A and B are shown apart, each in its own frame.
Chain A
């Protein structure tokens, strides 16, 4: 077990090195002037005739591997350049926005996994009956819905027609409270900060603004978990130990809850981990549509405005998160399913 984790940890720096190389290769497609923007922390210095001098000063015409090492050194110092979109150093902007994305992910994962598993179990228990077919259609349609199409429809119906799920992060009155010095920022996540400050009204307001994105992500992402749960449950229900449990005369409830479902959930745990990691990255569209602050909308905005420093820094950060996330997922399998350890 320890050996397994250690082996995975050994690969971590290698993977990070690879991602940095990939990101740098992409930077290589940019002209020296565009690349300059990924180095300089102060926008004033990028004006006028300074530029040519700066290009040679920063060695942007040096051999590529020297440039790479220099860039890497800057990255390690947390110097990722200046973000026009975020109006600050890229590194700080990312750290400030990441909690918003994390918050949305945490709140979306709960209904996705809970509903996905329960509907999947229901579907399996009604195999090939009306409920099963209805749920399969529900799932495959959700699976086929692009998140921006569904998000736009949610906005149209639930916000502009019904007035339920407002876009943005907070209402104006709550925004003023949050920005005032009285409000302490601890986690950077609005709902948790509101609770820690003892402001239930702000907590409720922040949660209300999260409902639209949560609803959208839930429907679009639910199908995956539902399908895996269903097929895994169907497989487990045919196993000998389930038949034994039935033969022993155990009640159907005990057979399903204790014998079948627990074993059926092992592959679901695998997929759930991937869903969490995917959600963290998949918020680009949803945050943009619902006009929320976050890493995803930051990336979209930076790409639209050709803010190269932000794009590169954001990509590197996403890569880091994904690699660490996948590592956690893999290690947790080893805990859940003892068979993984033996491989």
Chain B
């Protein structure tokens, strides 16, 4: 933290310890730290959205500075009108208008993601599964078969309108086992990455903060 002021480092260390105190139990120090965290972050994002969305995206988009050579993007008015409709919630007589932007967002999201998922989760998955099964080494061959069987049985598990019994049920059971083994591996991997985050924080406390603490007092 080379650019932080000594006071800033001191406060950051105290807040870190305050949040860690939750590991013992809920206490007044944690409550203070929590309130500071929520208040500061809420205010930060409010300012960030104001500048990034309202000012930089909308205002400079529809009213570009003279001489910048940028043309006004009239499409942005569409977003502005939808945004203004959201504010109608505060007027009881016309608060129903606020449902229009919601409907627009939900509908547009469903439409956009439908194609995106169809490509990435379906077509690409099929293409990637149809790969050579017999590889150079036995281990690689086993890996290819595992991918193929895991994909097929995993997909079978997600059939909702067919009862999981008989061969179909057996395949679904293999599928859920494959999923759980994957989750186990993913769990271990992520825990290790969280440990590195903890080490980073400890490094801050024992080096940056402790050194700064010694210099201040």
Physical interaction between A and B? no
